Chains A and B, each alone.
Chain A
Amino acid sequence: MTTTAPHTDLGKTPGPTAPSRPRRGPGALVRALPLTPAVVLLLLFLAGPIAYCFYIAFTDLQLTGQAQDSFVGFENFTRAFGDEAFLNAVWLTLVFTVLSSLVGQNTLGLALAALMRRASKPVRTLTGGIVVTAWVLPEVVAGFLLYAFFRREGTLNAILDWLHLPSQNWLFTLPILAVSFANVWRGTALSMLVYSAALNEIPKEITEAAEVDGAGGWRRMWHITLPMIRRSIGTNLMLNTLQTLSVFGLIWVMTRGGPGGKSQTLPLFMYEQAFQNSLIGYGTAVALLLLLVGSLFSLVYLRLLRTEV
């Protein structure tokens, strides 16, 4: 979210364009005047850093260990694509996003929202409460909770032992699955809320009419509900995906991207390069590439929003 929003904001900024239309006369200029502080702040604190980011992605700037930085052109980008660890991070980011956001949070959120419509009020309040609690917990706290759940002496293995099923160190054997599950656990609430609102918007008459016509639950879901909440699905997917792409604390706490980089998604890779290896230039270039991945996903969803079903 944070990464894409400023662009659209910039495009809409009325400040600098208003005075450039002289035919409106001095009135427009005077009217634009109160906006100036806001525009200046926006340019300074949003556009400025972004522009600076673009600039340093093309330099070899380091946090330390360097007397003078210089412009290196596309070197950081070519380096990234030749870097196995980067490609591994891209792949894991995709796996993580598809598993936890598209499949996990999204479907589970929809299922919960649909089921809760039929549930009694106490069940609804309780379920909603639990799901939202997971969401409002600070990311680091959630990370520690799930670390305790998945570790070798953790809750999950205790349950498996009790059921006489084989236990294992999940964070070691299946780290990307474990962190994906953690992200589903933490982030489903948003989807649930979005879909609850969307489902409430569907006029009762339509569903009832379909029911009278003999459409079963699945058919109603497929032919009526889903098409009608299509826009919410798009919005929800976009929000989820962008949030998931930037998940850092959760993975950092649970696995630090390991073992052997098996759960190192792009934000963790970027952090390692920029702040552990001090390569700010390279790290920023990776951040821009992450932004690109985010925009690609967004484009797909925007198309989804536009197409008629």
Chain B
Amino acid sequence: MRPTAASTPLLALALAATALTACGGGSGSDPDTVKVSFKQSTDNSIKVMDTYLADIKKQFEKAHPGKKVELVPIKAPDSEYYTKLQQMLRSPKTAPDLVYEDTFLINSDITSGYLKPLDPYLAKWPDWNRFIDTAKAAAKGEDGKTYGVPDGTDTRGLWFDKGIFAKAGLPADWQPKTWKDVLTAARTIKQKVPGVIPLNVYTGKPVGEAATMQTFEMLLYGTNDGRTDPLYDKNSKKWVAGGQGFKDALAFVETVYEEKLGPDVSDALDPNVMTRVRGEWLPKGSLGIALDGSWLPQDWLPGSGHEWPEWPEKLGLAAMPTQHGQAPGKVSMSGGWTWSIPAKAGNPDLAFEFIKTMQTKANAQKWYVANSGIAVREDVAKDPGYATAQPGIKFFTDLVQNTHYRPAYPAYPKVSTAIQEAMEGVTTGDMSVDEATSDYVDALKDATDNQVVER
């Protein structure tokens, strides 16, 4: 399928077809069946979610005699999954009872009126108090209501190669205190261990959101006191136009590529660079430091194609420091997915019952471990069975207390693209930090209907 000039008519066709089926009879929802839509992996060998949901379905049907669960997998890459889901949510005939929503776009779907507020359900559900506060905020709309129950999260930090560090004379228990420490380590590697890439930070449009979140926001959210949002002003509900923190974060990226501390620019702007970091550079010992996410070991598990069981001996982990080492010292960003009930769902009550079954402590823990997720329930986070399930899991779970969720409001995807463009400008050296920032401010005004504030 090529989304070409033909795809808009195709889309329109799909909409027309939806409208048509809506005119016909037939029932979209059976009061005894919960329809659950989820994102199925495009890789046929990965069945983590399928297996987990099949198990929950069994438990649910046993506990609720006479009720049935229908699993509706959507097999698509991220961006196409959103598109498909959004089309389904438009009509009561196609809307499932429960959907799996990425926190990246949940606020857009809330604004569109696709989702149902869950507050009346959550108020009567004691387990909700087990969820940590930052995670509770992940699916909160601008109206203050909660529209989803998170099923885990992710955090980000610095992965480093102990072998390269030993050759460069850097400590095996490295923990940088400031950005300068990170750059100093990279410069040392460049000088003492030629032939390896000292430091990788994702940049530019080809890698998309990974550049914004894994690099830029990891820097930006470490430029201030960690309490106010440097990207979005919650009080005035406006986006922050540039500012010193923004320029400093861009300058960091510029330094990495200008001093050739990062990969070759043409590699950094290759859309497949993420796969190369996980599948090639880190396992082959050709990358010193990688600013990346908690999910990397997923790719090194047995049966994944890039098996690397000895990674805990080869790699070290360090938290990303704040800019000058100011409190709280560490910074991380989080995303993740939530379970939400569509506004047009036929059986919302039953759907919430299904969420409750998924989110018993035992089931939640099973899920975090199965998908290398980071717990958002404090009772699971404290459970030794979870903390020791995989190396690194404790490190990334501890970062949750210093983590930030993106201001994923409707304009966010466009803001993110504007950030990537600014990053790309300083990466290639086509733009200075000031030029890139002023271009960003223009793009931001355009993307947000001028809802910006100078700070």
Contacts and interface: CB of A to CB of B under 8 A. Distances in A.
Given A152-B267, A172-B266, A291 B5 contact: yes
Contact of A65 (B11, B15, B108, B428): B108
Nearest to B207: A256
Interface in A259-306: 259-261, 266-267, 270-272, 274-278, 280, 283-284, 287, 290-291, 294
24 contacts: A2-B5, A49-B13, A50-B9, A50-B12, A53-B8, A64-B105, A64-B108, A64-B109, A67-B111, A67-B113, A152-B264, A169-B267, A171-B270, A173-B266, A245-B5, A259-B206, A259-B428, A260-B428, A267-B5, A275-B79, A275-B83, A277-B413, A277-B414, A283-B8
A258 B271 contact: yes
A50 B410 CA distance: 28
A246 B108 contact: no
A281 to B, nearest CB: 10
A167 to B, nearest CB: 12
Contact of A152 (B266, B271, B417): B266
B374 to A, nearest CB: 26
B270 A139 contact: no
A290 B8 CA distance: 12
Contacts of A270: 5, 8
A65 B5 contact: no
A260 B3 contact: no
Interface string B392-434: 0000000000000000001101100100010011001010000
B16 interface: yes
B47 to A, nearest CB: 24
B410 to A, nearest CB: 3
B82 interface: yes
A66 interface: yes
B428 A278 contact: no
A276 B417 contact: yes
B16 A49 contact: yes
A139 B424 contact: no
Contacts of A272: 417
B114 interface: yes
A66 B9 contact: no
Nearest to B430: A260
Contacts of B271: 255-256, 258
**Interface residue tally on A, bucketed by range:** 35 or more
Given A67-B111, A275-B83, A294-B5, 12 more contacts: A2-B6, A45-B16, A65-B410, A65-B411, A151-B270, A152-B267, A172-B265, A173-B266, A246-B2, A260-B425, A270-B8, A287-B8
Give 7 closest A-B pairs by Cβ, nearest first.
A65-B410, A65-B108, A172-B266, A49-B12, A169-B266, A246-B4, A64-B108
A63 B16 contact: no
Contacts of B12: 48-50, 52-53, 56
A246 B425 CA distance: 28
Contacts of A248: 2-4
B116 to A, nearest CB: 15
Nearest to A290: B5
Interface in A135-159: 139, 151-152
A3 interface: yes
Contacts of B204: 258-260
Given A152-B267, A258-B271, A64 B2 contact: no
Interface string B138-161: 000000000000000000000000
A258 B111 contact: no
Contact of B8 (A245, A255, A274): A274
A54 to B, nearest CB: 10
A274 B4 CA distance: 11
Contact of B4 (A64, A259, A260, A267): A267
**Interface residue tally on B, bucketed by range:** 35 or more
Interface in A43-84: 44-45, 48-50, 52-53, 56, 62-67
B273 to A, nearest CB: 12
Interface in B120-134: none
B269 A259 contact: yes
B112 interface: yes
B2 A139 contact: yes
A276 B413 contact: yes
A64 B79 contact: no
Interface string A1-23: 01100000000000000000000
A249 B421 CA distance: 22
Interface in B236-268: 264-267
A62 B5 CA distance: 18
Contacts of A173: 266
A62 B267 CA distance: 34
A198 B106 CA distance: 57
B6 A3 contact: yes
Contacts of B298: none
Interface in B31-90: 79-80, 82-83, 86
B328 to A, nearest CB: 32
B2 A49 contact: no
Given A152-B266, A248-B3, A280-B11, A64 B16 contact: no
Interface string A220-251: 00000000000000000000000001111100
B111 A66 contact: yes
A2 B10 CA distance: 11
A175 to B, nearest CB: 10
Contacts of A53: 8-9, 12
A249 B106 CA distance: 28
Q: Which of A65, A66, A270 has most chain B Cβ within 10 Å?
A: A65
Contacts of B109: 64-65
Nearest to A79: B446
Contacts of A2: 5-6, 9
Given A53-B8, A260-B205, A284-B8, A267 B3 contact: yes
Given A64-B410, A65-B112, A67-B112, A258 B417 contact: no
Contacts of B430: 260
A274 B420 CA distance: 18
Contact of A48 (B2, B11, B16, B425): B16
Contacts of B15: 52
A258 B269 contact: yes
A259 B268 CA distance: 10
B6 A278 contact: no
A267 B113 CA distance: 30
B86 A64 contact: yes
A53 B428 CA distance: 38
A248 B265 CA distance: 25
B410 A259 contact: no
Contact of B83 (A56, A63, A260): A63
